[in-house]
Amino acid sequence: MSYSYECRKVLFALTFVSALWAGREFKAGPGEEVVPDELLVQFRPGAVPASVLSVVAPGAHATRIGPLRLHVVKLPPGMRRDISTLLANHPDVEFVEPNHIRHALVQAPNGLRCL
């Protein structure tokens, strides 16, 4: 076997393995409202969010919400649009998604059983 063939096999294996370690990215759908310059990121156990952000998104900062390693990441204005893809490809990130704006519709009960 040639040296270049062996190199190609190793390169393919590394590409495949890195894809398994990378996180998932969920993008906003058409017409969905999102908070500008904010992402929701879940880091892997033991990951240090400040270290990940200093490499991938300098100037961004993370605030932990809840006990599930979920963080709201505030990006500096004008940050590249593909930053969520870069974060999702980091081995210390489980998933990335936009910070969606949700609206709840609350109406008073109108049936006789509710009185």
Q: How many CA atoms lie within 13 A of 93 on its CB side?
A: 30
DSSP summary character for residue 85: H
Residues of the chain with pLDDT under 50: 7, 11-19
Check: CB of residue 50 under 8 Å from CB of residue 20: no
Q: Answer whether 0.85 is exceeded by the pTM.
A: no
CA distance 75 to 72: 10
pLDDT digits (tens, 9 = 90+) for 1-31: 565 666 455 544 444 444 455 579 888 889 8
Pick the CATH number of 23-101 from 3.90.1170.50, 3.30.70.80, 3.10.310.10, 3.20.20.70: 3.30.70.80
CA distance 98 to 70: 13
**Structure-block tokens of residue 100:** 């969606």
Q: Where are the domains of the chain?
A: 23-101
